């Protein structure tokens, strides 16, 4: 934090990362102590308030996100990235989940801030994700040694085109829960509903939309207005949290709850994701990697629904969501047997945009 003309200010970038938007800070510009840092972030975002009218947040979990970045001391990473979810309507800040969309902005931010030297053409930034202790490599376009945000890459959920940011996840199985199937099963029965609890980068509970009398292609607004559905899903989530080694998740934003159904637009499957109380306009990045992984593995509720088998090697899973599709490319082996299954890498395309850089005013 700095004092500038008698005001306390924090240097800050506002960036779109994938289909989310957030505040990006250097770790050295914020208090390290959560007891001091979190009230500051709540105040900057304008939480708690449904509209976040007195802050920089956009009134939705997807636009109330924070990245804190620093140079890494690890041999296998250039920078460390801590993700924080600032609750919109509660005075809570959570580090219990990671975020692959906000991750898309971390590489450009690190280069712009001089934490990583840009190369000509493109620059690979190795990112250690502090929330889960796992690593990703992102490829940022840097023609003539400068970050560019303009380009031809399109992602569903964001209008227009931008420079591509390619993300490779390396070691994300069991990142938050300790194992890919944290309950020890590829399927569990909770409140008489068959679910798959999986963590390949994001703890996700998969449920068949049909089991709730839904078609699966209802809009996020329709699903959010169905109080009885939300109660049923939350009751399952609280039990799944315990099964997934996450403990009491009543105040956590994980696990995410993803309703699955047959595809409508040529993808492999269709999804609607509760994250966990609002419904995502698209789908989370790591959330979609967990969903894609469940498609490949026999015994999961998705595999039961789709009845499609995959050979070892490179697989591409197209996940449909409310505003389009999300493609996940994975390198897998041992898919015939859950005990020998390994995901060697998961890759996907995102874009990001620097929207503003300046000083956030501390109240
Ligand atoms: O799963 C929303 C988002 C996310 C998370 C959420 C994400 C991920 O779209 O990696 O990106 O599920 O809370 O930003």
What separation in angstroms does the CA of 360 have from each of 15, 187, 232? 14, 46, 40
Which residues touch 50 (CB under 8 Å, ≥6 apart)?
Answer: 59, 88, 89
Q: Tell me how far the alpha carbon of residue 189 lies from the centroid of ligand 1, in angstroms.
A: 26
Cα 308–chain centre separation: 26
Exposed/middle/buried for residue 289 (C-beta within 10 Å: 0-12, 13-18, 19+)? buried
Helix (H, G, I), strand (E, B) or coil at 201: coil
> Ligand 1 atom 7: the closest Cα is on which residue?
284
Nearest partner of 270 among 289, 287, 291, judged by Cα: 291
Exposed/middle/buried for residue 95 (C-beta within 10 Å: 0-12, 13-18, 19+)? middle
Count of positions (residues) in the chain: 363
221 HSE (CA, 13 A, CB side) = 1
Pocket lining for ligand 1, CB < 6 angstroms:
19-20, 61-62, 99-101, 202, 253, 256, 275, 280, 284-287
What is the CATH superfamily name and number for domain 188-340?
Answer: Diaminopimelate Epimerase; Chain A, domain 1 (3.10.310.10)
The domain limits of the chain are 2-172+351-361, 188-340
- What is the end-to-end Cα distance of the chain in Å, rounded? 12
Q: Are strands 269-274 and 313-321 parallel, antiparallel or unpaired?
A: parallel
* Spatial contact of 258 and 273, defined as CB atoms under 8 Å apart: yes
Helix (H, G, I), strand (E, B) or coil at 303: helix
Indicate the top mutation candidate among 100, 276, 293 to test ligand 1's pocket, ranked by most ligand atoms within 8 A of CB.
100
Q: Tell me how far the alpha carbon of residue 94 lies from the centroid of ligand 1, in angstroms.
A: 13
Second CATH level (architecture) for the domain 2-172+351-361: Roll (3.10)
Written as one string, the DSSP assignment of 140-158 is: EEEGGGS----SSB--TTS
Rg over CA atoms, the chain:
20
Question: How do the pLDDT tens digits run along the chain, 363 residues long?
Answer: 676 666 799 999 999 999 999 999 999 999 999 999 999 999 999 999 999 999 999 999 999 999 999 999 999 999 999 999 999 999 999 999 999 999 999 999 999 999 999 999 999 999 999 999 999 999 999 999 999 999 999 999 999 999 999 999 988 888 899 999 999 999 999 999 999 999 999 999 999 999 999 999 999 999 999 999 999 999 999 999 999 999 999 999 999 999 999 999 999 999 999 999 999 999 999 999 999 999 999 899 999 999 998 888 999 999 999 999 999 999 998 876 777 788 889 999 999 999 999 999 998
Which two three-digit tokens encode residue 65? 């996100």
Q: Tell me how far the alpha carbon of residue 280 lies from the centroid of ligand 1, in angstroms.
A: 8
Is this model's pTM higher than 0.75 or not?
Answer: yes
* Spatial contact of 288 and 252, defined as CB atoms under 8 Å apart: no
């Amino acid at each position: 934090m700095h004092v500038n003309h008698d005001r306390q200010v924090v240097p800050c970038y506002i960036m779109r990362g994938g289909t989310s938007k957030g505040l990006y800070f250097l770790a050295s510009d914020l208090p390290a102590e959560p007891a001091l840092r979190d009230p500051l972030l709540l105040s900057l975002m304008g939480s708690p308030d449904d509209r976040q009218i007195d802050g920089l947040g956009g009134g939705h979990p997807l636009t109330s996100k924070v990245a804190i970045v620093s140079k890494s001391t690890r041999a296998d990473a250039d920078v460390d990235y801590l993700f924080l979810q600032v609750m919109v309507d509660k005075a809570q800040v959570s580090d219990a989940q990671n975020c692959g969309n906000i991750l898309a902005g971390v590489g450009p931010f690190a280069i712009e801030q001089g934490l990583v030297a840009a190369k000509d053409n493109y620059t690979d930034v190795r990112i250690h994700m502090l929330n889960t202790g796992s690593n990703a490599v992102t490829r940022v376009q840097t023609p003539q040694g400068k970050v560019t945000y303009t380009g031809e890459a399109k992602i569903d959920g964001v209008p227009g085109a931008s420079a591509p940011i390619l993300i490779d996840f390396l070691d994300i199985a069991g990142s938050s829960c300790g194992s890919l199937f944290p309950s020890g099963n590829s399927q569990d029965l909770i409140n008489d509903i068959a679910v798959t609890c999986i963590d390949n980068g994001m703890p996700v509970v998969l449920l068949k939309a049909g089991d709730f009398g839904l078609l699966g292609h209802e809009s996020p607004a329709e699903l959010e207005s169905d109080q009885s559905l939300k109660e049923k899903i939350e009751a399952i989530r609280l039990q799944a949290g315990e099964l997934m080694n996450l403990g009491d998740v009543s105040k956590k934003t994980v696990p995410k709850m993803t309703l699955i159904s047959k595809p409508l637009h040529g993808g492999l499957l269709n999804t609607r994701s509760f994250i966990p109380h609002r419904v995502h306009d698209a789908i989370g990045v790591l959330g979609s990697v967990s969903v894609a992984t469940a498609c490949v593995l026999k015994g999961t509720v998705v595999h039961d629904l789709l009845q499609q088998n995959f050979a070892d090697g490179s697989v591409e899973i197209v996940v449909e969501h409310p505003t389009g599709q999300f493609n996940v490319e994975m390198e897998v082996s041992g898919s015939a047997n859950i005990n020998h299954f390994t995901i060697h890498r998961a890759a996907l395309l995102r874009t990001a945009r620097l929207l503003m850089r300046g000083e956030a005013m501390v109240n």
